[in-house]
Amino acid sequence: MKRKAFGAIDLLIGLVLISVVFIIGMQNFKPIPSTETTDLQTVKEQVNEQVKEIEQLRQNAKNYEQEMLDNNNF
C-alpha cells in the first residue's frame, strides 16, 4: 500500500534536484567582457591587413594566370 505523502516527497526532491542543477548551470553564463578590454582599433587594423594580403594574393594569381595564357599563345 502506497502512502499519499510519498508523491509529495518525490515532487519536493525533484524540485530540489532541478534547483541545484539550475544553480550550477547559471554559473556557466558569465557576462560578456566589455569592449574596453579588447582594443577594437587593433582588431580592425588586423582585419584590414588580412584583407589587403588576400587582395594581393588574388592579384598575383590573376597575373600568373595571364602570364601562363600569354606564354601558351606564342
Mean pLDDT, range 47-56, rounded to an integer: 95
- The reply to whether 74 and 40 lie within a common domain is yes
Give, as one character, the DSSP assignment of residue 29.
-
Cα angle: 17, vertex 21, 27; to 5 degrees:
150
Q: Examine the pLDDT at 35 and tell me if it is beyond 60.
A: no
- The reply to whether 20 and 52 lie within a common domain is no
pLDDT confidence bin for 7, thresholds 50/70/90: confident
Look at the chain and report how many structural domains it folds into: 2
d(CA 55, CA 73): 27
- The reply to whether 73 and 42 lie within a common domain is yes
Question: Could you tell me the residue range of the domain that residue 38 belongs to?
Answer: 34-74
Q: Which set of grid coordinates corresponds to residue 49?
A: 591587413
- The reply to whether 38 and 12 lie within a common domain is no
Of 11-20, 23-32, 42-51, minimum mean pLDDT range: 23-32
